[in-house]
Chains A and B, each alone.
Chain A
């Protein structure tokens, strides 16, 4: 009996990895063969970023069971840290792949620190109070980055914090060979774009590896126990703060890495991109894919990134149609009447209701 249960989890995990590999191979083959159009090719990297974002947020929302409305804040920290790292190392590390790896690690590190700063005091809160604090944090990060002016020359990094609003790049005192990396509200400009689908694929695989292993480890079982009953969990001697923080910080770090990849996919990026709406977008992926359901997050992230592009034919009605589709999908997947209706359509599949 026990044997069978373990193998079942393994099979689900294995098929998640396998699905991702198949997705990668098929897409690469299609784009190599020239069958894939440009819209689709252009979407591949953002899809990978959002997949990684969704899986990492699922760790907080689905597995830890705490609502976070500021996930884009960690993405922002990772994106700007990653861009700074990559742009500063342009001459030192000529290999794009290596630079991208360094940028993603730096992004993840900075996001880890941010996750820790936010998480440590805040995780004492619960439910909607925690949600509102993460929302507040996301907005604070956005405004702080807007104040940031960063440049790099042979003397190293120059960083200005433009609190009064009247400093410009010229106040950095860059030498002639220096480059401005972040220009306050204007964000990053002329970034060398080095993100690739392969890097995105590796990022998603690493994210999956970390999250799935965490989920099925001792720590992961403690985290899920916390979600299901906090009081019972602490009563059997599990350190709730430690495990909460572990899940939260891991989730932040992965978002940071995804942010770095995202930031290096576009030559220009503004802090305003990572606002409340982006946090909500990722949350939509997670809820639509199913809380705690990792492959669901992957599919939802891909589908909802493609959907607005696929709806371009509707022109002015595009976002309206998107909204209607979103509402209908939520109704169809969560309404008990409709669920039992679908279940009746598929005899013998009744126990699968939850997965749908």
Chain B
């Protein structure tokens, strides 16, 4: 029973990582850049939804919608201003720019919303009791897990079936060839950022509900963890990000419970290293044969 409750807390934590990792992986797959500012977009999503709920007394669903809109716009603006001019630059240059954007967002949040942590009102409260109260699962965990599965399925369908999804896959494969086929690479990349940022906003709402707290650096550690999750599952792969996120959350929760709370992160990272040594492209990543 104890094991089950640890497992469920691991799965819900993992679902959040998975949603963030999906955003990472989308952007990476198409724009081939590590968007280190992704975690901070989550934080902005958290603040926007917090303000709409706490100051404007809007219902959680409207607050989430507002956060999604705000983050989508923010994502597109950042992409246009900071990343698009560097499209032909080496990927490391874009990486550093992303770090600059991350600092920028964190410090703007610090100035706007101040340093003091806010207590985030959970979007759904309460819990369900199972087995005569021996096992308690909070509604927010269930919501997180459900949201994660829905998002994963929707994204997979979108990418494999829709026209825009096909354009994205084409860009991911070969930008030059995609352009020759009449695909507008720039707007495809912008759309990818928009989707990634919208996911970040949803992740922000769920993450903050789960943690019940919000501060300007809220997004950075989950951001790094989700990046790890994306690589774990094979970066660029949507089911991979989902699987990686879930596994990461479960390993973290179980390591904390049965091995050491002290070294929980280390254990997660150690497992990651071992997995990558066995499968160098992550769990579901495909090894691209190199042409000589």
Contact = CB atoms under 8 A, between A and B. Distances in A.
Interface stretch (A86-94, A247-255, A328-336): A328-336
Interface residues of A, number: 52
A122 B99 contact: no
A164 B111 contact: no
A128 interface: yes
Interface stretch (A9-17, A106-114, A315-323): A315-323
Contacts of A165: 260-262
A288 B96 contact: yes
A280 B99 contact: yes
A239 interface: no
A232 interface: yes
Interface stretch (B138-146, B201-209, B264-272): B264-272
A133 B276 contact: yes
Contact of B224 (A137, A276, A322): A276
Contact of A320 (B82, B97, B107, B261): B107
B103 A330 contact: no
A348 interface: no
Nearest to A144: B266
Interface in A27-85: 61, 67
B263 A320 contact: no
A283 interface: yes
Nearest to A132: B231
Interface in B213-237: 224, 227-228, 231, 235
Question: Which of A136, A165, A235, A316 has most chain B Cβ within 10 Å?
Answer: A136
Interface string B86-130: 101110110111011101101110110000000000000000000
B262 A163 contact: yes
B92 A143 contact: no
B273 interface: yes
B272 A139 contact: no
Interface string B260-292: 111101100110110011001110000000101
Contacts of B231: 128-129, 132
A326 interface: yes
A296 B96 CA distance: 16
B211 to A, nearest CB: 20
Nearest to B277: A121
A283 B93 CA distance: 10
Interface in A229-280: 230-232, 235, 276, 280
Contact of A291 (B92, B227, B262): B92
Interface of A: 61, 67, 121-122, 124-126, 128-129, 132-133, 135-137, 139-140, 143-144, 146-147, 162-165, 230-232, 235, 276, 280, 283-284, 287-288, 291, 316-317, 319-320, 322-324, 326-327, 330-331, 333-338
Given A133-B272, A133-B273, A337-B85, 9 more contacts: A124-B277, A125-B280, A129-B282, A139-B265, A162-B262, A165-B262, A287-B96, A316-B111, A330-B93
Interface of B: 28, 34, 36, 82, 85-86, 88-90, 92-93, 95-97, 99-101, 103-104, 106-108, 110-111, 224, 227-228, 231, 235, 260-263, 265-266, 269-270, 272-273, 276-277, 280-282, 290, 292
